[in-house]
């Protein structure tokens, strides 16, 4: 009953499969077989190329990134990422949905990690290196960042909350796609 723009009568699927391009592509192949022609797909990827995922979807003009943050009911931000072929009508429909959900959408470029994870994951990775080399304990590192940088939680606590598997997958994407050792996983 909610009008999300010109696609008010279409399906919108928000894919939230593992942060693995092959897994997501497999999901899109299955979706393509059952979705209507005008259905939209938004990926909740944390770092993967929207252009590559859109190509795998078979509907690149009706595909884009819609990156939510955990816990989704609490966190206001959603990054919206266009692929090379994302239609303006697709973007508008997904943006309107984000607003209807009470989220604050921001448009991010289709670059590895988008905005938040491109900045956040190197911080978490560096915290892991600091723990690994004995610079500080888990408690010391987290407290230092809470008190010294006014972060609401420490980077290692946040890594546990996000999921170490997701953190590793994202930092691996940053390392592989940028080819820069500053993103080398700890």
CB 159 within 8 A of CB 127: yes
> Which of 136, 114, 123, 133 has the alpha carbon at shortest distance from 183?
123
State the Rg of the chain over Cα.
18
Q: How far is CA 7 from its chain centroid?
A: 23
Active-site residue, selected from the candidate residues 67, 132, 151, 175: 67
Question: Strands, E, within the chain: which ranges?
Answer: 12-15, 40-43, 63-68, 77-82, 104-108
67 an active-site residue? yes
Count CB neighbours of 180 within 10 A: 9
Catalytic positions, please? 67
């Amino acid at each position: 009953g909610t009008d999300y723009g010109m696609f008010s009568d279409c399906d919108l699927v928000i894919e939230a499969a593992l942060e693995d391009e092959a897994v997501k592509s497999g999901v899109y192949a299955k979706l393509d077989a059952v979705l209507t022609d005008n259905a939209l797909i938004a990926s909740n990827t944390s770092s993967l190329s929207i252009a590559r995922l859109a190509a795998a979807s078979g509907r690149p003009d009706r595909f884009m990134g819609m990156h939510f943050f955990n816990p989704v009911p609490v966190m206001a931000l959603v990054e919206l990422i266009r692929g090379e072929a994302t239609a303006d009508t697709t973007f508008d429909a997904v943006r309107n949905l984000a607003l209807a959900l009470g989220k604050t959408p921001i448009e991010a470029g289709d670059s590895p990690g988008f905005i938040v994870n491109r900045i956040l994951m190197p911080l978490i990775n560096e915290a892991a290196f600091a723990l690994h080399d004995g610079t500080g304990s888990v408690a010391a590192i987290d407290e230092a960042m809470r008190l010294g940088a006014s972060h609401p939680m420490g980077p290692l606590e946040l890594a546990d909350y996000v999921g170490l598997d997701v953190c590793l997958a994202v930092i691996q994407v940053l390392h592989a796609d940028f080819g820069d050792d500053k993103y080398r996983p700890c």
